[in-house]
Structure 1
Amino acid sequence: MSPPRIVSLQQVLLVLLFVLSLCTESSDAKFSFVGSAYEDASGFTRLTNTKKHVYGQAFEQQPLAFKNSSSNATATSFTVNFFFAIAPEKKKCGSHGMAFVISPTKGIPGAFPDQYLGVFNDTNNGKSSNHVIAVELDIHKDDEFGDIDDNHVGININGLRSVKSAPAGYYDKDGNFRNLSLISETLMRLSVIYSQPKKELRVTLSPVEMVTQPEKPLLSLNQDLSPYLLDEMYVGFSASTGSVGTIHYIWGWHIDLGIEYRPRLELNLLPVVPPYPRKASESTRKIMVVCLSFSMFVALVASALGIFLYLRHKKVKEVLEEWEIQYGPHRFSFKELFKATKGFKDKQLLGKGGFGQVYKGTLPGTDAEIAVKRISHNSKQGMREFLAEISTIGRLRHPSLVRLLGYCRHQSLLYLIYDFMPNGSLDKFLYPNPGQEHITWDQRFKILKDVASALFYLHHQWVQVIIHRDIKPENVLIDLEWNARLGDFGLAKLYEQGYDPQTTYVAGTFGYMAPELVITGKATTGTDVYAFGLFMLEVACGRRPIMPRAPPREIFLVDLILDCWEKTDILEAVDERLRQELNREQLELVLKLGILCAHGVPAARPAMSSVIRILDGVTQLPNNLLDILKVGRYEGWSDTSEEVLDVVSMQSSLTLTEPFTSRGR
Structure 2
Amino acid sequence: MPKNITFFLLLLSLVLPAASQQDGFSYIGFSRGDANSSNISLNGVAEIEDSGILRLTNETSRLIGHAFYPDRLQFKNATDGAAFSFSTAFAFAAVPEYTTLGGHGLAFVIAPSKELQGALPSQYLGLLNASDVGNFSNHVFAVEFDTVQDFEFGDINDNHVGIDINNLVSNISTAVAYYGNDGKKNNISIKAGHTLQAWVDYDGVGKVLNVTVSPFSSKPPRPLLSFPVDLSTILHDQMFVGFSASTGLLSSSHYLLGWNFKMNGIARSLDLASLPALPQPKKKDPTFVIAISATSVAVLIAIIVAAVYLFYKIKNADVIEPWELEMGPHRFSYSELKSATKGFRDRELLGFGGFGKVYKGTLPVSRAEVAVKRVSHESRQGIREFVAEIGSIGQLRHRNLVQLQGWCRRRADLLLVYDYMPNGSLDKFLFFDDESRPSKTLLLWAQRFRILRGVASALLYLHEEWEHVVIHRDIKASNVLLDADLNGRLGDFGLAKLYEHGANPSTTRVVGTLGYLAPELTRTGKATTSSDVFAFGALVLEVVCGRRPIDHKATPEELILVDWVWERWSSGRWTDVVDPSLGGNYDREEVEVAIKVGLMCSHPAAAARPTMREAVRYLDGGDAVEVPEPPSPPMGLEGNSQAGFDDFVHSYPSSSFDKLSPCSITPTRDAAVSAGHGKVGPLAHSTFSRLSRVSV
TM-score by length of 1: 0.48
Higher relative contact order (CA 8 A, sep 6+): 1
Q: Decide which structure has the larger Cα Rg and report it.
A: 2
TM-score by length of 2: 0.45
